[in-house]
Structure 1
């Protein structure tokens, strides 16, 4: 599970910005909280609100960049190739990322700083038996190790300037860094700009009776009017996803009809494009990042997706959700805790993104935070109007 993520000097984020999943002392919805050990209490979901171009999507992009540098294409760069460095305002300072997370019951802290040419700093700490221990530290080419020193020194000498030591050490199966690497590989998942549901993907889900029943249950709870899903093979054409709908006539008779997926509404198609990743995250206890969660979805369907993560009877493996949204209907203290609602706001003078949670405003229990947000009480919302002929301003 993710405890916190820190970003510095990436896109619109200039100064250090932190997203924390650590639960506050808020007593509401304590039954939804996650307990990776006896000391930690974590949130299952966090929503990030903000005006267009405020930088909320850059939080997810930063984490996606971090994963890309560990297990993606940017982890496979040849010596001398450029790293995916996107600093604030084109400045020359390094970008820095850090994640603090739990994996197999142990807390880890991993971070690094870089520019387009090299990794400047990198470190990995963990807390076995509750006590901090360093696995490795890297500072401008100088490494420090506490365990397996000879082997790690040899591996560090094989690590080029533009490659993370976490990556190169796992290329050589070093046990000390394996768990941290596997957290990024297994537990960090994204639903951003996903493609339409494909028959091969849905067929994999439907091949499991258990998963098919889970999909049908969610379809019924979302009230999409679908009673069955299947893959239909048409001679001379690629297999297509078909949905079965049920109609009950006034005389009580029942009629069924089928639709191809491309004949369904945009919301239903988006549901199928996402449900596979959602179920996978729940099964694996992964952290799921979703940009604009409400895109092409009915508000009740969006809410149902989030409920799956917040319901401890459904989310039995400790999955988490971090998403951006404009959906003000979700701004409800009867649905979220105050520490689950975050805002991204761009400073008027510096154009840098700032992150803060609703908990910092200490709203009263039962307060209509949706109305307060839309009126600009918490910032992070554009204000349109005034006596100047409609000039767009930001109310802070």
Structure 2
């Protein structure tokens, strides 16, 4: 489960911000929202959900994009550009990452803390990629640190490397204490300016098991959907290349509850390129047979988006993954969204500690009976320096004139700007000017 994510110098986030899933102190009520896991002799807690509010262009999508970018860099193991079709271009072209208002070069920093298979992993790296749009800058990893269960495993900076052998995680290491010094020298010589040591030298020389554990979490359990329209079809039948039509029972049943127009939906695997396409099954009244057509020609956009989203919810719930979605509520009815949120909050269903993180403009989630104060986040951008800030409702405390109490009307207070992260919008001057110039060339 995700505990904390931090980023610095990522687009509008010029200064370091922390997206914490660790429960804030003195929070009472809604205990179903708090998970507890045993890591050695310690108990670690995390909240099961977070909702992010803020006006347009404040930086809500940027925080999700930063998570997606770190995930992408870790999985490919380097800070080089890649030419791929991907919704988050900053994950492929790293010159798009730095804050575009900086007058001096500043490193981009990522930090993540999570639990996986009984281990508490803390991993961070900072990288120099130059100014915004500086394509020819000679990039390098400035620093890279890995901690496991509170112990520092390695600290890499430029051409230096500090490695600590630990008996407490010896079952994950491909060496014993006698071999550690010799292999350390080999690892030191394997450092590359643009490669993550974790995914290269450390994996090949010191601990394949530990890296595969981390890699599996990033690949399969840290599911980040950047931008609302970027949810692609999830191929549920990766174990077959056989052409044909497949119906995924659970998703199909959920789609019928959601309001499916056809008899069923399924996945058509092409016999030419094995690409998968979402299709609808209908009755042909003329032939009294079933016909299969492209779902986009028959189902609503909201239905298709739900069908593409629901397998991710299933996967998160089944594996204990962290699902991060930009504009979770786009084109989907609030009642369906509310039910999905309630499933994450149901400790009898969410037994594997799945987490849901999303941003939204819909105020209905600003509800003290639905979310704890530490689950409600805000992103606000300073209009003078264009820097974004991230904070939680729990940061206001509970006492004093700015304090927030559990039973307050969060929605009302948000719209009267008690919490910030809201902008007054008035388009009328634009129209008054148009009307005043009517008839002018």
Supply the distance in 1 between the matched residues of 2:269 and 2:13 (Cα, whole angstroms). Answer: 49
* Residues 241, 195 of structure 1: alpha-carbon distance in 2 compared, 3 angstrom cutoff: farther
Please point out which of 232, 235, 255 is paired with 1:201: 235
**Pair 1:335–1:157, CA change in 2 (3 A):** same
2:107 is equivalent to residue 94 of structure 1? yes
State the shift of 1:259 in Å. 7.9
What is the CA distance between 1:215 and its match in structure 2?
2.6
* Consecutive unaligned residues in structure 1, runs of 5 or more: 246-255, 392-396
Q: Which one of 234, 237, 251 corresponds to residue 215 of structure 1?
A: 251
Question: Which residue number in structure 1 is paired with residue 217 of structure 2?
Answer: 183
Deviation of 1:312 (Å): 2.2
1:152 aligns with 2:184: yes
Q: What is the CA distance between 1:19 and its match in structure 2?
A: 0.7
**What are the superposed Cα offsets for residues 84-139 of structure 1, whole Å, 9 maximum, x if unpaired?**
25222244010111111112112121111111210001111122xxxx32110012
Tell whether the 8 Å contact from 1:45 to 1:340 is kept in structure 2 after alignment. Answer: yes
Task: Say if 1:99 and 1:239 are closer, same or farther in 2 by CA, change over 3 A.
Answer: closer
Partner deviation per Cα, 1:30-49 (whole Å, 9 max, x = no partner): 02321122522211111111
Residues 203 and 67 of structure 1, relative CA distance in 2, 3 Å threshold: closer
> Structure 2 residue aligned with 1:375, among 405, 413, 416?
416
C-alpha RMSD of the superposition: 3.5
Q: 2:380 aligns with which of 338, 345, 353?
A: 345
Structure 2 residue aligned with 1:44: 48
Residues 325-371 of structure 1: per-residue CA shift (max 9 Å, x gap): 11111111111111111000001322111111111233223322112
Could you tell me whether the CA contact under 8 Å between 1:229 and 1:244 is conserved in 2? no
Counterpart-to-counterpart distance in 1, 2:187 and 2:81 = 17
Which stretch shows the higher mean deviation, 146-155 or 328-337? 146-155
**Could you list the runs of 5+ residues in structure 2 that have no partner in the other structure?**
83-91, 130-138, 166-179, 284-289, 399-403, 433-441
- Cα shift readout 1:212-233 (whole Å, capped 9, x = no counterpart): 4533553455455777444579
Q: 1:45 to 1:244 in 2, by over 3 A?
A: farther
Are the aligned partners of 1:11 and 1:58 in contact in 2 as well (CA < 8 Å)? yes
How far apart, in 1, do the equivalents of 2:343 and 2:231 lie? 22
Q: Distance in 1 between matches of 2:269 and 2:191?
A: 50
Distance 1:12 1:241, change over 3 A: same
How far apart are the structure 1 equivalents of 2:268 and 2:72? 36
Scaled by the length of structure 2, the TM-score of the pair is 0.74
Measure how far apart 1:70 and its partner are.
1.1
Instruction: State the number of aligned residues.
Output: 370
Deviation at 1:55, TM superposition (A): 0.7
